[in-house]
Structure 1
């Protein structure tokens, strides 16, 4: 269960919107919000104390917004290496999840993930929720919240590996706030064209069994053929999906990689919020029956 979240901020994305995104999590058991601003020790140099003082004033105003949601709130300002400090604070404070924001403009234009977000995704074993914001006006810091009712229609891609089934375990924690689920499997390894119908039906049957575990929630199953991340991103954009939930790794990933190619590509290319579930070491390499 997600009871404590860490929300790092560099004050460039409208924090009020990002904090507004956590309201739904309160209904799923969220108790505490930790706001964190890291004064970059490499850039601030001798001005670090001044930046630290200014940041404390700003972050405290954000903390008041979180307190209005009746959540226990802690505001931290730390001088250090930004990426490492976020990961270290998440571990030290026993955060269950990290929430970070990103504008969709950079994703649309094919730019790389922000270095900080990329580092956290690749190095942390915390749940990561990446909220996306649409830039409304060219050259201005104006954003439209992309996180309204994000648990309305969740897309859960599965490749039937034990790794991917971690998303199902997490989904159970959200049963009280999820309105609709789409369970999706993408066939990317057609064994025999003549047996494709049989392969499709086998995948649908596995999805149906998973669907039965969520009998109280409206849900559907979908099996398509293609490149997994392409099909996931396309479906999410055309079918009004409000959140994509998947594990950081699926089948076939090297054991020393925390982020699989499908998860990374979905995170880079979609304009939808993404909830990444870290793989449990105990299930690595196992196959779901």
Structure 2
């Protein structure tokens, strides 16, 4: 039987929900002999709305290096025996996830959700919601676990 998925993207933000998603992505990768693309996105704050011309905001190289180190440590710990690559991007999370998915021709995205509702959802938006809406490939979302 041919593998259903061969390239799985798992964006993580090091929170519990995304780590749960990584565990599932790892299991799916083992079942399908797939490669996992592990991505973390460093958000760049929006420029203030002023009459001044926009000032370019450059990614913090040291923060990116630290994020890469953390991501590689997670990969070693959680993806032992699974083919994988790690990526760090700076910018808006949803577009960066969708860009990497297109660049790497992934056939599945596995990601956690924070489960925000109401005002928090309105103010902070939902990365997972946007990825689900705009992705040309299936997106498997892992919802927050209730406190035990």
The TM-score normalised by the length of structure 1 is 0.41
Q: CA deviation at 1:171?
A: 2.6
Which contiguous aligned blocks of 4+ residues in structure 1 show a shift greater than 6 angstroms?
none
User: Equivalent residue for 1:203?
Assistant: 67
Say which SS state the counterpart of residue 215 (structure 1) adopts: coil
Q: CA deviation at 1:195?
A: 7.8
Q: CA deviation at 1:179?
A: 1.5
User: Equivalent residue for 1:130?
Assistant: none
Matches within 5 A, 1:157-236: 157-174=11-28, 175-189=30-44, 196-212=60-76, 213-236=78-101
Contact 2:68–2:88 (CA under 8 A) maintained in structure 1:
yes
Say which SS state the counterpart of residue 163 (structure 1) adopts: helix
User: Equivalent residue for 1:153?
Assistant: 7
1 or 2 for the larger relative contact order (CA 8 Å, sep ≥6)? 2
Instruction: Say if 1:170 and 1:282 are closer, same or farther in 2 by CA, change over 3 A.
Output: farther
Q: CA deviation at 1:150?
A: 4.1
Q: Which runs of no fewer than 5 residues in structure 2 stay unpaired?
A: 46-56
Contact 1:153–1:178 (CA under 8 A) maintained in structure 2:
no
* 1:50-84 deviation digits (Å, cap 9, x = unpaired): xxxxxxxxxxxxxxxxxxxxxxxxxxxxxxxxxxx
**How many residue pairs align between the two structures?**
131
Work out the CA distance in 1 between the residues paired with 2:126 and 2:139: 15
Contact 1:182–1:219 (CA under 8 A) maintained in structure 2:
yes
User: Equivalent residue for 2:139?
Assistant: 274
Q: CA deviation at 1:254?
A: 4.9
Contact 2:59–2:90 (CA under 8 A) maintained in structure 1:
no
Q: Which runs of no fewer than 5 residues in structure 1 stay unpaired?
A: 1-22, 25-148, 284-289
The TM-score normalised by the length of structure 2 is 0.76
* 1:114-158 deviation digits (Å, cap 9, x = unpaired): xxxxxxxxxxxxxxxxxxxxxxxxxxxxxxxxxxx4420100001
Matches within 5 A, 1:1-289: 149-174=3-28, 175-189=30-44, 196-212=60-76, 213-249=78-114, 253-254=116-117, 261-282=126-147
CA RMSD of aligned residues (A): 2.7
Say which SS state the counterpart of residue 217 (structure 1) adopts: coil
Say which SS state the counterpart of residue 245 (structure 1) adopts: strand
Q: Greater CA radius of gyration, 1 or 2?
A: 1
Say which SS state the counterpart of residue 16 (structure 2) adopts: coil
